[in-house]
Amino acid sequence: MSGILRLLDPLISIFIPSSCIFCGQELPASRRVVCRTCYKALPRLSSQLLKILQDEIEPCHFSRLFIPFEFSERIQNLIHLIKYRNFLTLGEYFACSISQLIQNPIYNIITGVPLNPVRRRERGYNQSEVIAKHLAFILDLPFDPHLLERVRNTVSQTNLNREERKANVRDAFFCTRDLTGQTVLIVDDVITTGSTLNECAKICKNSGAAQVDLAAIATPANILQHRLERENRFSDIL
């Protein structure tokens, strides 16, 4: 979307009644893209699956991980809208869902995983930063979009295995300030193996951070579910 259209987007929505992209129900003026009912029905990530994901990330450089949703087709649609179609209001919805998981928000800084600068320029914004900014606003805590920088480009993680993903993001980020004694929350959109977020946590720890927590909107649950079933099967036998 061009800059001028992006500026006009909120105005366009006033004149064109919008409806929920999933059920077609007309939305009130205060709501965008998805109705409350469809949003509430998005599949939630169970604490069991979250634990399996967390246990697999090693060496682990963070303390807590917050992920509200399973990566379903509907979540994919919504993330696509925030990523490529400029529906930044969704960032507020996602931030709200993440904030509900954080019982003790003690952060000195909330930031997003930085995008490759070329992609950031093309898109005009960084969706992870948008979510992090809304989250900081909701929690009433400091937001710093410039805490982390990408120091080298990485290839897309999509077709890489766990080890390749780790190698791909190794030393790809730089922390712009001293974090001695600070607590940091880093936000991304989707977490798969956790390599990117964990690498960002490592960089913050290397800069002195006392605690780093991570948050993302969703993670693919089918692989985790498969591992959980295997674990349960073997625990029955042994």
Q: What angle do CA 151, 83, 202 make, to 5 degrees?
A: 35
The nearest distance, CB 221 to Zn ion, in angstroms, is 22
Q: Does 20 bind Zn ion (CB under 5 A)?
A: yes
Q: Which is nearer to Zn ion, 73 or 140 (CB)?
A: 73
Phi, psi of 77 (to 5 degrees): -60, -45
Q: Does 5 bind Zn ion (CB under 5 A)?
A: no
Q: How many CA atoms within 13 Å lie on the side-chain side of 49? A: 22
Q: Which of residues 37-96 bind Zn ion (CB under 5 A)?
A: 38
Q: Which is nearer to Zn ion, 33 or 221 (CB)?
A: 33
Q: Does 23 bind Zn ion (CB under 5 A)?
A: yes
The nearest distance, CB 25 to Zn ion, in angstroms, is 5
Q: Does 35 bind Zn ion (CB under 5 A)?
A: yes
Cα dihedral 213, 138, 30, 16 sign = negative
Q: Does 21 bind Zn ion (CB under 5 A)?
A: no
Kind and range of the H or E run holding 32: none
Residues 6+ apart with CB under 8 A from 204: 61, 147, 148, 175, 179, 184, 186, 212
Identify which of 171, 177, 179 has the alpha carbon closest to the alpha carbon of residue 150: 171
Sole binder of Zn ion in the list 1, 22, 56, 125 (CB under 5 A): 22
Site string for Zn ion, 193-222 (x = CB under 5 A): ------------------------------
Q: Which is nearer to Zn ion, 22 or 174 (CB)?
A: 22
Chain residues binding Zn ion by CB under 5 A are 20, 22-23, 35, 38
